[in-house]
Structure 1
Amino acid sequence: MHRLILMRHAKTERAAVSGLDRDRALTARGTADAALMGRVLAEKKLRPDLALVSPALRTRQSWDAVQEALGDVEVRIEPRLYDASPDTIRRLVEDAEDQAGCLLVMAHNPGVHTLALEYLTESAASPAILDRLAGGFPTGAAAAFEVDVAGRCAYDGFLTPKAFGGGADD
């Protein structure tokens, strides 16, 4: 793997009709933001070979909207990504590192945000970059990392829907 993208699902409804968190769907803004982020990733040549996606409805819907702009990508619905800790996400990334040149993980906060901060700290990212991500990981956001041969992740960008004309940072 030479590139990793950690992405949070897009904006969701507050509650599902079923009452289950896993069943929360995207809002109209969430669907639009996810589609926007798919186009942004494609324009920036951040096209994954493999996507690991949480089974929650909101992550699957986010991925469907993102994938429209990315074309054919192998997708695996990964049950362990639902409400995953940073350590669980890291293990899943490490397990998939030989299976893709570019891996995208679509999951949830706080796991995605915390893992992105851990990768930044491990790579001695600048204080400005750490401050930018410490401020939050909004819905629909994506953190991109270049991965060296030793598996170390170096910051390659932080993309939010708001930065490209989409919804608010929340």
Structure 2
Amino acid sequence: MKRIYLLRHAKSSWDDVALDDFQRPLNARGRKAAKRMARHFTEHSIRPNMVLCSAALRTRSTYELLEPVLQGVPVSFEDGIYEASRSDLLHRLQRLDGHLNSVLLIGHNPGLEKLALALCGGHGDHAGLERLEAKYPTGALTILDSSVPHWPELDANKCTLVDFIRPKDLDPTDDDD
């Protein structure tokens, strides 16, 4: 069994119009959302075998706020995840090392949303599917399980949606910035 976590970067800032899209930082709301998600990772013992993260600043910053709960998990920052299509992201997952059973992919829309919808193909948690189909907001996490034994076999409709968690679904207790 393989478990896939797909995390869209937290909310970014558009304040500095001179910044290239790749260099946009998180805004205050995004930092709070990423911290909430880090608490969720801790509370639910989410610990993937590897992290694949877009090299864009907002995804790296999202990862950095999760990193304290992921200490020791190998991470790969990859330019190719930025602006990746659904098929690009799928091919990246299909190339994972065989010894890995779980992965956290931190990326961007629209590729991440399209990948999540394609992988689960409408199978799994009904309420989560409704939320996912309605909108994949910044900071949201998709959890998918697949019975494929090897990553190269991963494809559309080969996963079940376990959960779809948005930052607004999480307890804001102890939000600080």
2:19 partner amino acid: G
Paired position in structure 2 for 1:133:
132
Paired position in structure 2 for 1:46:
46
| Equivalences for residues 86-105 of structure 1 within 5 A | 86-96=86-96, 98-105=98-105
1:131 partner amino acid: E
Paired position in structure 2 for 1:111:
111
Separation of aligned partners in 2, 1:140 and 1:129: 15
Identity among equivalent pairs (%): 33
Q: Secondary structure at the match of 2:95?
A: helix
Q: What's the offset of the Cα at 1:106?
A: 0.2
Q: Secondary structure at the match of 1:29?
A: helix
Q: Secondary structure at the match of 2:106?
A: strand
Separation of aligned partners in 1, 2:74 and 2:84: 21
Assess, with a 3 A threshold, how the Cα gap between structure 1 residues 41 and 77 changes in structure 2: closer, same or farther.
same
Under a length normalisation based on structure 1, what TM-score does the superposition of the two structures give?
0.88
Q: What's the offset of the Cα at 1:141?
A: 0.5
Separation of aligned partners in 2, 1:127 and 1:3: 18
Which of 135, 159, 163 aligns to 2:165? It is: 159
Structure 2 residue runs of 5 or longer lacking an equivalent are 173-177
Q: What's the offset of the Cα at 1:153?
A: 1.6
Q: Are the equivalent residues in 2 in contact too, given 1:16–1:25 (CA < 8 A)?
A: no
RMSD of aligned residue pairs (Cα, Å) = 1.9
Task: State the 4+ residue runs in structure 1 displaced beyond 6 angstroms.
Answer: none
Under a length normalisation based on structure 2, what TM-score does the superposition of the two structures give?
0.85
Separation of aligned partners in 2, 1:101 and 1:127: 25
Q: What's the offset of the Cα at 1:134?
A: 0.9
Structure 1 residue runs of 5 or longer lacking an equivalent are none
Paired position in structure 1 for 2:175:
none
Q: What's the offset of the Cα at 1:42?
A: 2.4
Q: What's the offset of the Cα at 1:17?
A: 5.8
Q: Are the equivalent residues in 2 in contact too, given 1:15–1:21 (CA < 8 A)?
A: no
| Equivalences for residues 64-79 of structure 1 within 5 A | 64-79=64-79
Q: Which of 48-57 and 7-16 deviates more?
A: 7-16
Separation of aligned partners in 1, 2:99 and 2:24: 30
Q: Secondary structure at the match of 1:137?
A: coil
Structure 1 residue 8 corresponds to structure 2 residue 8 = yes
Q: Which of 41-50 and 81-90 deviates more?
A: 41-50
Paired position in structure 1 for 2:36:
36
Q: Secondary structure at the match of 2:31?
A: helix
Separation of aligned partners in 2, 1:116 and 1:12: 21
1:82 partner amino acid: Y
